[in-house]
Amino acid sequence: MEVTTSIPPARMFKAFVLEADTLIPKVVPNAIQHVELVEGDGGVGSIKKLTFGEGSQFKYVKHKIEGIDNENFTYKYSIIEGDALMHTLEKISYETKFVASPDGGSICKSTSKYFTIGDIEIKEEEIKAGKEKALGMYKAVEAYLLANPDVCN
C-alpha cells in the first residue's frame, strides 16, 4: 500500500512511530483507546499492547517491534497476539517506510505479510477491510498534523 501526503517524511515518521503511542489515541480514540508498553524500553524487541476503541470489533493486539531506523524512516513490527488474529493467523508482520516525494511531502510505503496457522486462507475482503481502517487512521492523523503545524516538528 502506498499513500502520499504533503507532510515531510521526518514529521510523518515522528507522528506514526516515535509519538504514535500518545498521538494516535488522542486523534482517533474510537480506533485505538490506549497503548501500553508491556515489555522492553520501546526499542527493538519491545512489546506494546494496543487496546482498541469502542468502535472496533476487536479488543486488543500486542505488537512486537522488530526494527526502527530513525535515519531512513523505517519501522518494522508484528502483531503477535490478540483477537484480531482471529485464531487463523500466527502473526501479521508490517514494514512501513516514509520516503520523500518530489513536492517536499512524503510517500508512506507499507507492506504486510500474513502468517496463517495451517492451510487456512485469508479472504481478500478481510485484507481490504484492514487496509481501509489503516488508511482511515492515516488520513485522520494527517489532517490533525496539517491543522496543528507545531505537533511532531
In a domain, 104, yes or no: yes
In a domain, 30, yes or no: yes
In a domain, 98, yes or no: yes
In a domain, 152, yes or no: no
- CATH code of the domain containing 126: 3.30.530.20
pLDDT in tens, 10-57: 999 999 999 999 999 999 998 899 999 999 999 999 999 999 998 788
Report d(CA 97, CA 106) in Å as an integer: 10
The domain tally of the chain equals: 1
pLDDT in tens, 16-26: 999 999 999 99
- Domain membership of residue 50 as a residue range: 2-147
Helix (H, G, I), strand (E, B) or coil at 77: strand
In a domain, 58, yes or no: yes
Across 58-73, average pLDDT: 96
| E strand residue ranges, the chain | 2-5, 32-39, 47-52, 60-69, 74-82, 89-100, 106-116
User: What pLDDT sits at residue 101?
Assistant: 96
Question: Which residue in this structure is represented by grid cell 492523523?
Answer: 141
In a domain, 153, yes or no: no
User: What pLDDT sits at residue 129?
Assistant: 82
Region for residue 81 given its phi and psi (left: phi exceeds 0; alpha: psi -120 to 50; beta: otherwise): beta
pLDDT in tens, 72-91: 999 999 999 999 898 889 99
In a domain, 19, yes or no: yes
pLDDT surpasses 80 at 149: yes
